[in-house]
Structure 1
Amino acid sequence: MRIVWIFLFLIGLQVSAQEIQPGAERTDLYLSQLEGKTIGLVCNHTSTVGNVHLLDFLLAKELDVKRVFSPEHGFRGNADAGEVVTDQRDPKTGIEVVSLYGKNRKPEADQLSDLDVLIFDIQDVGVRFYTYISTMHYAMEACAENDKPIVIFDRPNPNGDYLAGPVLKPEFRSFVGMHPIPVVHGSTVGELARMINGEGWLENEIQCDLTVIPVANYTHTTSYSLPVKPSPNLPNDQSIRLYPSLCFFEATSASIGRGTYFPFQVIGYPNERMGDFQFTPESIEGMSKNPKQLGKVCYGLDLRNASSDEAFTLTYFLNFYQQFDDESEFLTRERWFNLLAGTDELLKEIRAGKKLETIEAGWQEELDQYQSVREKYLLYPDFN
């Protein structure tokens, strides 16, 4: 019996040793380096050490956190997509919180002048138009311009097991796409930060003093379920997996479930020809206050039980597009669609009636070129 218990104990140790540890939890790699320094944090509700918020954790260690910078959705993660977030003070600690999703998206020189180091720790989902990586870009750029080091606490990418979609063209650069990377870029924020620095993608090709605290026991084939929803309308693994495919509907009149408790898991429009499944968007505080098709019964698809392994696809978009005789009734924001796509070629191909396989084949050369760049900056075993 004792041998059995020892055997089970050793198995438990082995499993425990292989548990994923985000960079913020690898305290032995950074705590001693922060002693005696004034610290700024770019963080939000996903910035945790176990079950403790990073800000609270560092303060408990008697470290001097001077200022917090918050991204889209705010410090506590409850602002709508696109909602302006204002400066404030954290009610729990009294520390100044500077919004990077309002009038200013880059830390200003006077906001960095009294800091010794800036830490970025936000959970990303591995999709080009998810704006946390744009906030990271501007934080890196501000540090480079003001001679301040930046430390990235890396986290796993829940869509990090593949590459897909068109690569962004420079003329379509915006806050929902700042880098020449595909829709699904297959990198952690730490790897992407290394790429941004190494490829000279910051303004005037400047480079920042960059340190990445890596994730332990992670590979790009590792399945990872996020412990905290990264934004109000990505509540679970299914929504995160469907997000790159369904976000293109944001440029249309169709609903992808904002105003329900299953956003980014359904598609619908107020016409029965779209499908048998029904849902009615409503105003939900902390998720979506004024959703598309508010109060209207939408008919369409329920994807809540679709395969959790599903990768980016245009199938859903093309199927809906083809059901409208008048494109303008469906595609209501053409410029927004092109910014999300990172190119206007995709819409041209859709309008020309090209088949899905032909469209996807047209991305492959650029994806191969991107992969050759990406390989230089990988920190973890790849999926290839």
Structure 2
Amino acid sequence: MTGLDRRTLLAGAGAATVAVPLAAMGAAAPARAEVREASVRTGADVLAADGWKGLAGRKVGVFTNPTGVLQNGRSIVDEMHDSGNVDVVAVFGPEHGFRGSAQAGESEGDTEDPRTGIMVYDAYGATATSLAAMYRTSGVEVVVFDIQDVGARFYTYIWSMYTAMLAAAREGLAFTVLDRPNPIGGTARGPMMTPEYTSGVGAEEIIQAHGMTVGELARLFNADYLPRDGGTVQDLTVVEMEGWRRDMLWADTGLLWVMPSPNVPTPDTALLYIGTCLFEGTNLSEGRGTTRPFELIGAPYVDYRWAEWLTGRNLPGVLFREAYFNPLISKNAGVVNGGVQVHITDPEALDAIRVAVEMLVGLKQLYPEFRWRQDSWDTARPFWIDKLTGSPRLRTQIDAGASAATVVAAWRRETADFTARRRRHLIYR
């Protein structure tokens, strides 16, 4: 957009003096779009309907991004600011930033928000110590967290929340979570993180698909993990949703889908991401730089045999179509990649982690060029797949020729144990 940057566009939203009324041009003014009815009301909508009373009289810092919206599509920060009922003194932006203009592994930096004039702090990668310093500088008394999660342990927003809670605990601040649905449902699946492999994509021991909302995770973190790191939030509030059940997928909620990050454009992407994100740990493209990230998977050395092999597995809920694509960015950019597009045929039957394991097993059998990604910056734990899955087990089993059934069976006890342990923290039944 030549001559216009993001700051200009956002600031221009308030420039009513340059607008020409449609009536002056002889056209009827359009009726205001009605907000569609949803079967679920988010915590943000519940609190907004009450005039934000739970935040009155305190200096508020909001940890959010573009997914922190009401059902009318407006940012909660803009709504709080315009209401005059909330004293928002700071906004904290996670990965991709508050307004969502940054790519994976990037943020927007510290800046004054041009729409509201509120100071926005870059919280991506912040430690509890540095985040606590931001709280002190801004004078925050209560931290509000409102970000749409996708249900995966390695999606960084839940760990941003963990750090934000730890900083709040150390500063003696209140912490409020505006709860949102888990878009892939409430079922727990996958391997457990082990202490030796914790990182920014899995800071504590939870399983790969935790099946919890961010509000439920906040309760788990506060009870089981924050005390080990030297803090507990004494004033933790979860503003609960209305109408959400654990058996719901996103399509059941009636809510707007706002991209949680640039590479999760649709609810179907979220359903597959919990499994196909494992391809970040390989030399295949996971579809970044295409219009179907985490659905298109491939590499220059992959041919038709992979799609045929996967089709022969008869996996429930998915169809594998032979596909060729040329990513614009990220791995294998600028070259033609052969591979598959994973189509969801039955969301209820889909087990995306099992699907990804079958895909990896097939690659290992078919292509000697297949490699696990190694990171030179972590010589002690060089394989990214180990950080994503929580241990070297999946990698070493597949390298040894194990079947997908054997790999999946290895974490059944872990899944059962976590399902039992999380029960006392669940809000929705």
Q: How many residues align?
A: 358
Question: 2:40 is aligned with what amino acid?
Answer: I
1:121-155 deviations in whole A, cap 9, x for unaligned? 00001100000000000010001000000000000
**Aligned with 1:81 (options 81, 104, 115):** 104
- List aligned pairs for 1:358-377, cutoff 5 A: 358-377=406-425
1:21-57 deviations in whole A, cap 9, x for unaligned? 0100002567212122111000000001121100011
**Aligned with 1:117 (options 142, 147, 167):** 142
**Counterparts of 1:30 and 1:371, CA distance in 2:** 36
Query: Which residue of 1 is the match for residue 40 of structure 2?
Result: 20
Aligned-residue offset at 1:160? 2.4
**Counterparts of 1:156 and 1:144, CA distance in 2:** 25
Aligned-residue offset at 1:204? 3.1
Question: 1:142 is aligned with what amino acid?
Answer: A
- List aligned pairs for 1:139-154, cutoff 5 A: 139-154=164-179
Matched, 1:258 2:288: yes
Question: 2:340 is aligned with what amino acid?
Answer: L
1:344-370 deviations in whole A, cap 9, x for unaligned? 122121112111112211111111111
Aligned-residue offset at 1:335? 2.1
**Aligned with 2:337 (options 278, 284, 298):** 298
Aligned-residue offset at 1:200? 3.2
Query: Which residue of 1 is the match for residue 258 of structure 2?
Result: 228
- Aligned residue for 1:230, secondary structure, equals coil
Aligned-residue offset at 1:265? 1.0
Matched, 1:34 2:73: no
Matched, 1:207 2:255: no
Question: 1:59 is aligned with what amino acid?
Answer: H
**Counterparts of 2:215 and 2:122, CA distance in 1:** 22
- Aligned residue for 1:119, secondary structure, equals strand
- Aligned residue for 2:242, secondary structure, equals coil
**Counterparts of 2:398 and 2:228, CA distance in 1:** 34
- Aligned residue for 1:194, secondary structure, equals helix
**Aligned with 2:82 (options 60, 64, 67):** 60
1:108-128 deviations in whole A, cap 9, x for unaligned? 334223112110000001100
Question: 1:317 is aligned with what amino acid?
Answer: L
Question: 2:39 is aligned with what amino acid?
Answer: E
- List aligned pairs for 1:279-318, cutoff 5 A: 279-282=325-328, 290-309=329-348, 310-311=350-351, 312-313=353-354, 314-318=357-361
Contact 2:159–2:202, Cα closer than 8 Å, also in 1? yes
- Aligned residue for 1:108, secondary structure, equals helix
Aligned-residue offset at 1:205? 4.8
Tell me: CA distance 1:111–1:212, structure 2 relative to 1, closer, same or farther (3 Å): same
Tell me: CA distance 1:350–1:154, structure 2 relative to 1, closer, same or farther (3 Å): same
Tell me: CA distance 1:71–1:362, structure 2 relative to 1, closer, same or farther (3 Å): same
- List aligned pairs for 1:149-164, cutoff 5 A: 149-164=174-189
Question: 1:36 is aligned with what amino acid?
Answer: G
- Aligned residue for 1:303, secondary structure, equals strand
1:151-203 deviations in whole A, cap 9, x for unaligned? 00000001223221110001111110012111000000000110011113455
Q: Normalization by structure 2: what TM-score?
A: 0.79
Aligned-residue offset at 1:291? 1.7
Query: Which residue of 2 is the match for residue 138 of structure 1?
Result: 163
Unaligned runs of 5+ in 1: 1-14, 283-289
Query: Which residue of 2 is the match for residue 168 of structure 1?
Result: 193
Query: Which residue of 2 is the match for residue 237 of structure 1?
Result: 267
**Counterparts of 1:165 and 1:363, CA distance in 2:** 6
Question: 1:176 is aligned with what amino acid?
Answer: V
Tell me: CA distance 1:107–1:123, structure 2 relative to 1, closer, same or farther (3 Å): farther
Tell me: CA distance 1:89–1:183, structure 2 relative to 1, closer, same or farther (3 Å): same
Question: 2:140 is aligned with what amino acid?
Answer: L
Question: 1:117 is aligned with what amino acid?
Answer: V
Contact 1:164–1:184, Cα closer than 8 Å, also in 2? yes
**Counterparts of 2:101 and 2:364, CA distance in 1:** 32
Unaligned runs of 5+ in 2: 1-35, 308-321, 376-381
Query: Which residue of 2 is the match for residue 322 of structure 1?
Result: 365
Matched, 1:357 2:387: no
Aligned-residue offset at 1:90? 1.2
Matched, 1:126 2:151: yes
**Counterparts of 2:302 and 2:403, CA distance in 1:** 26
- Aligned residue for 1:175, secondary structure, equals coil
- Aligned residue for 1:25, secondary structure, equals helix
Question: 1:61 is aligned with what amino acid?
Answer: S
